[in-house]
Structure 1
């Protein structure tokens, strides 16, 4: 409250200025009251990063939220490894309850577990190297907040030496200030959502990021049958070059193609639909910059 009394030599504030100060104080109070917590930010990021696709078991009606992040139903059987999505809950025997916060942060950006073993590259930690310091803290806070679920998952099988891939647009931690630029924000979101991991074809040595980033053509097998990822580059005939922003956004968030066809999983349409409009627009803007393939 601003007092009506004034000290000698001090001119009283005008009514307009008093109203402006009161408005600023009210706005600051509102912002503080509604600021996003680290746990809320972490939950949002888990959707953007489609963590549930691999780490939450599925029931007949979709994800089994009663066992959130306790280990996925799908098994990834590749020539170099055979793994399932791990239990990420704070359970101390079957989950991450025995990991320290520092170990969890290190794993998210390097793929290296506390025992020194690297995770199979199906876990896209190479893309997570861009995560801001605050977003790393948010993910750790969120993973600590989910209910602990005791659920033993099959141990990973490594059949060959695992090579860490080097996708484009990653490798350097982003700063919060950079997120104000729409294209940098879009690049960040495309990275942590590991869009190019799914939309780049694989060769004998891994994904062909050097020559075919975003070209599509990667095969996915699952309950949905067989699906081949789409070309999301700016190619005018094979990619998204002729699509409108709204058409790209609808495909991403609703699973509906430009011609009205219903698109299939494993694309995380429901997760992307929860994203803010600012983040959706940033992704669309950055995808526009992908060289045509």
Structure 2
């Protein structure tokens, strides 16, 4: 019996190691799908050239500027650089930074970081995001501190506890999770009043982004509610999907390169369908 146990111990270690490796691979695959797809973190955190192309050797190194009344915000360096990025942050600190909007030193991460939406990202998806971020190459890039002339809250809400996965068996719950929590689409498509979202007008559009990405043009977010005239209520599912993934409007116009079209082009057909479910569920805005 003792001889048999001695033989089985290495097999147990190998099996455990294989299981851990498989789990990490699955987390990284999920994190890659999210970060290079619906989350599209690089759309703000990766600097762009003058023709709106991401600068390859500056992935996630920050410096995108957004200016609104009372706000001059810089996208931070979220590479694994110890000095100018988040290389010294623990996994728990990264998760807290994303979901709670709190840095390790206790300071609040202000807008446009969509922590109020990210609060609902599941624990498993957060672990996948961290697995991806740990594989981001460090880039030394000092980013200025954001400046706020508007009052900010002490926190975006109570500390986030456990957040379970959202089942695809509930189509509306999953579509809301994918589009709002992960995609944070309402972050840009909902009007702001004194630095805060006016959720009585969710997805009504009209938010102004001046000189976005420092590309020399101004973008006004579209009404993506089902309003038949001012929104996308009469658009077909395929027209909506084309606009999301290719930046082409219903009439064939090319949209300006502000939305994360190259990222959204990687979203699976199943998850694009989920986005449609969410958009179709909204009330038309403006309300009559």
Provide TM-score, normalisation by structure 1.
0.80
Paired residues of 2:178 and 2:275 also in contact (CA < 8 A): yes
Provide the residue aligned with 1:200 in structure 2.
190
Instruction: State the distance in 1 between where 2:118 and 2:100 align.
Output: 8
Equivalent position to 1:41, from 13, 19, 30? 30
- Runs of 4+ deviating beyond 4 Å: 32-36, 171-174
Instruction: State the distance in 1 between where 2:105 and 2:185 align.
Output: 29
Provide the residue aligned with 1:14 in structure 2.
none
Paired residues of 2:28 and 2:131 also in contact (CA < 8 A): yes
Equivalent position to 2:241, from 238, 249, 271? 249
Decide which structure has the larger Cα Rg and report it.
1
Q: Secondary structure, in 3 states, of the residue corresponding to 2:167?
A: helix
Paired residues of 1:224 and 1:265 also in contact (CA < 8 A): no
Equivalent position to 1:186, from 169, 175, 178? 175
Per-residue deviation, 1:87: 0.7
Distance 1:156 1:227, change over 3 A: closer
Instruction: State the distance in 2 between where 1:254 and 1:172 align.
Output: 37
Larger displacement relative to structure 2 (75-84 or 89-98): 75-84
Larger relative CO (CA 8 A, sep 6+): 1 or 2?
Answer: 2
Provide the residue aligned with 1:65 in structure 2.
56
Instruction: State the distance in 1 between where 2:243 and 2:223 align.
Output: 13
Instruction: State the distance in 2 between where 1:230 and 1:220 align.
Output: 12
Provide the residue aligned with 1:230 in structure 2.
222
Provide the residue aligned with 2:98 in structure 1.
108
Instruction: State the distance in 2 between where 1:228 and 1:81 align.
Output: 17
Paired residues of 1:41 and 1:135 also in contact (CA < 8 A): yes
Per-residue deviation, 1:59: 2.4
Question: Please, which runs of 5 or more residues in structure 1 have no aligned partner?
Answer: 1-31
1:151 has 2:116 as partner: no
Per-residue deviation, 1:206: 2.0
Instruction: State the distance in 2 between where 1:92 and 1:98 align.
Output: 5
> Aligned residue pairs: how many?
256
Q: Secondary structure, in 3 states, of the residue corresponding to 2:128?
A: helix
Distance 1:230 1:38, change over 3 A: same
Question: Please, which runs of 5 or more residues in structure 2 have no aligned partner?
Answer: 1-20
Paired residues of 2:150 and 2:194 also in contact (CA < 8 A): no
RMSD of aligned Cα (Å): 2.3
- Cα deviation, 1:190-223, whole Å, max 9, x if unaligned, reads 112111111111223522112x111111112221
Provide the residue aligned with 2:129 in structure 1.
139
- Cα deviation, 1:146-185, whole Å, max 9, x if unaligned, reads 111111111233434313668xxxx896533523333222
Provide TM-score, normalisation by structure 2.
0.82
1:1-293 mapped onto 2 (5 Å cutoff): 37-47=26-36, 48-60=38-50, 62-72=53-63, 74-163=64-153, 175-191=164-180, 192-204=182-194, 206-210=196-200, 212-221=201-210, 222=212, 223=215, 225-293=217-285
Per-residue deviation, 1:53: 1.5
